[in-house]
Amino acid sequence: MNAILAMLDGALPANVGVFWAQAVPDAARPYAVLYPDVGMESTVDRSLADDVPNDLRFQVTCVGDAAQQAAWLADKVAAILLTTVPAVAGRRVRPIRQEGAQPVRRDDESTALFIATAQYLARSDRTT
């Protein structure tokens, strides 16, 4: 997950924050928060040697002061994630795939903000 965070942080404009699981209090908007799962063995790919890739699913929540700002950031994040492969030492990382998204909406926690969410899959396996 650190490689994905670093990839986004390096490619997004400097005024856009990128956080893991929680934004800092009073974070300037727009910002993106990544919510990863703990990863698991892939149910899709198995080799004869019983090597199993790892699947890491994560959600990116893009937060803005207006619906347009949240959607703009969601588009930027998607463009980065879907066109760049993170580098992880000792692992072969496959291109990230988007698995789902929800419409831009007002945040239930803070009615002054808008969010856009999308879910992604990163799959990797050990290099020999």
Query: So what's the pLDDT on residue 12?
Result: 98
**What would the two tokens of residue 97 be?**
């795939």
Q: Strand 105-106 and strand 40-41: pairing?
A: unpaired
Query: CA-CA distance, 71 to 64, in Å (whole number)?
Result: 8
Contact 32, 15 (CB under 8 A): no
Query: So what's the pLDDT on residue 14?
Result: 96
Q: Strand 97-101 and strand 31-36: pairing?
A: unpaired
Q: Is the pLDDT of residue 50 over 70?
A: no
pLDDT tens digits, residue range 16-39?
999 999 999 999 999 999 999 875
Contact 31, 18 (CB under 8 A): yes
Q: What is the pTM of this model?
A: 0.88
- Structural domain spans, the chain: 2-28+54-121
pLDDT tens digits, residue range 88-123?
999 899 999 999 999 999 998 777 999 999 999 998
Q: Which of the pair, 76 or 53, is modelled with greater confidence? A: 76
Which residue spans within the chain are E strands per DSSP? 17-20, 31-36, 40-41, 54-64, 91-93, 97-101, 105-106, 114-126
Q: Strand 114-126 and strand 105-106: pairing?
A: antiparallel
Contact 30, 63 (CB under 8 A): yes
